């Protein structure tokens, strides 16, 4: 990870094809585009892999989440349960849909703890939104069962896990709706891009209209199209989709490379008794983007991250200190500092997160270190880096 490490002539050729016609928009201009429909082509490639009936490619993963919620009819007065460890886009998209984000603790899977979700469900809860963090799936059996019992929608934020599977199925395809991101730092990138997948015709159609100003996409004449309801502009451009077409064709190779490169790290770190690996509810389905593990305490985890960086490794994260991925530093959100007045209904049912107790999440996240696994490493390189990493940790622990 990320996919841009392995850009080659394939991406350049796809982009050049779009520039040859000059039709950068995904809709209309049927004559001028000479049969080139890059967004449609990538949607087909997503459907093929996810095994869903529908895929809608759009501007980014945040827009995908917002669109998915809107298409489900989730909005003002509704609560969406999401984890304390995720990218800020998760609560941003819930708020953009007009709903209230409700945070629940994560466990040693680095994803939603089903027991913690149970505790925060209220009569206003509409959605449980697990986030498959760092390339591997949440405990979807338990979360799926809970949603079924309580009659809640299961919306997967699979933005960080395109290519990961859960018990043989592509993540994102397990609940009612799934969302992917193809931003610049993801395993498959369009530069900026995202997708909504679902098997439900009605949800797909609503998402399709919502993401393009409400256009019902009923004809080739955009001006004459109907608008059952207003939407927004969350469209992707053909240029971005073109990059994505080339990238997605490499997904299987990307995952294989990551798993190959992750293995020596896991082997080398297994020899250190103080290192405890993240629990993967389905180890077979891991996409290999990260190796995540727990150290004995917060201080040692921080020192481990520093030692790994000093040893020359890139993409080392102690998420507990991260401004964007863990609740501890989401001070803007917790202190309710917004750019403009936010609808009262969003904040009414929201707990005071400046005072909330997330010690159960802290217990795992304070000790967690993640190492990004690079696509560009040759196998020998990965083996050498793994040894370097293990030695750095061993020497730190022996002090």
Ligand X SMILES: *Cc1c(COP(=O)(O)O)cnc(C)c1O
Residues marked as catalytic? 186
- Residue 50: is the preceding peptide bond cis (ω within 30°)? no
Which residue, 129 or 396, has its beta carbon nearer to ligand X?
129
Question: Can you tell me the distance from the alpha carbon of 101 to that of 234, in angstroms, rounded to the nearest whole number?
Answer: 21
Positions that interact with ligand X (CB under 6 A): 60-62, 86-87, 89-90, 131, 157, 159-160, 181, 183, 194
Structural contact between residues 74 and 126, judged by C-beta atoms closer than 8 angstroms = yes
CB of 86 to ligand X, least distance (A): 5
Structural contact between residues 184 and 7, judged by C-beta atoms closer than 8 angstroms = no
Which residue, 23 or 190, has its beta carbon nearer to ligand X?
190
CB of 4 to ligand X, least distance (A): 14
Question: Can you tell me the distance from the alpha carbon of 43 to that of 26, in angstroms, rounded to the nearest whole number?
Answer: 12
Give the residue at shortest CB distance from ligand X: 61
Contact residues for 130 (Cβ-Cβ < 8 A; gap 6+): 83, 111, 112, 138, 140, 143, 154, 156, 157
Provide long-range contacts, Cβ within 8 A and 24+ apart, for 202-210. Answer: 203/68, 203/71, 203/72, 203/176, 203/177, 204/53, 204/54, 204/56, 204/71, 206/70, 206/71, 207/56, 207/67, 207/68, 207/70, 207/71, 208/56, 210/67, 210/70, 210/71, 210/234
Which residue, 43 or 157, has its beta carbon nearer to ligand X?
157
CB of 183 to ligand X, least distance (A): 4
Which residue, 88 or 311, has its beta carbon nearer to ligand X?
88
CB of 60 to ligand X, least distance (A): 4
CB of 90 to ligand X, least distance (A): 5
Which residue, 190 or 295, has its beta carbon nearer to ligand X?
190
């Amino acid at each position: 990870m990320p996919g841009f490490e392995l850009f080659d002539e394939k991406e350049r050729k796809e982009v050049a094809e779009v520039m040859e016609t000059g039709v950068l928009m995904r809709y209309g201009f049927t004559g001028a585009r000479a049969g080139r429909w890059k967004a449609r082509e990538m949607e087909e490639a997503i459907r093929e892999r996810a095994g869903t009936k529908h895929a809608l490619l759009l501007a980014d993963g945040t827009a995908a989440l917002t669109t998915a919620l809107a298409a489900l009819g989730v909005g003002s007065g509704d609560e969406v349960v999401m984890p304390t460890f995720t990218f800020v886009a998760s609560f941003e998209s819930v708020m953009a849909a007009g709903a209230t984000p409700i945070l629940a603790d994560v466990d040693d899977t680095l994803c939603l703890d089903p027991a913690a979700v149970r505790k925060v469900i209220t009569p206003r809860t509409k959605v449980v939104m697990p986030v498959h963090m760092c390339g591997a799936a949440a405990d979807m059996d338990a979360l799926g069962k809970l949603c079924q019992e309580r009659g809640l929608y299961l919306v997967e934020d699979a933005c960080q896990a395109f290519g990961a599977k859960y018990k043989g199925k592509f993540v994102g395809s397990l609940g009612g709706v799934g969302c992917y991101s193809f931003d610049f730092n993801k395993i498959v990138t369009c530069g900026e891009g995202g997708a909504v997948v679902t098997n439900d015709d009605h949800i797909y159609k609503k998402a399709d209209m919502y993401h393009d100003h409400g256009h019902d996409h009923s004809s080739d004449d955009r001006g004459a199209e109907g608008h059952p309801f207003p939407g927004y502009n969350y469209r992707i451009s053909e240029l971005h989709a073109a990059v994505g077409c080339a990238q997605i064709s490499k997904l299987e190779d990307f995952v294989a490379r990551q798993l190959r490169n992750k293995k020596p790290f896991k082997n080398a770190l297994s020899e250190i008794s103080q290192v405890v690996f993240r629990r993967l509810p389905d180890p077979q389905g891991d996409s290999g983007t990260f190796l995540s593990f727990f150290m004995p305490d917060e201080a040692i985890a921080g020192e481990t991250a520093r030692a790994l960086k000093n040893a020359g490794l890139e993409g080392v994260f102690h998420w507990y200190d991260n401004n964007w991925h863990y609740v501890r530093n989401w001070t803007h959100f917790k202190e309710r500092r917004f750019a403009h007045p936010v609808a009262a209904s969003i904040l009414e049912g929201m707990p005071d997160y400046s005072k909330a107790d997330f010690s159960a999440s802290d217990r795992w996240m304070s000790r967690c270190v993640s190492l990004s696994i690079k696509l560009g490493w040759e196998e020998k390189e990965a083996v050498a880096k793994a040894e370097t990493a293990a030695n750095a940790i061993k020497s730190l622990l022996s002090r």
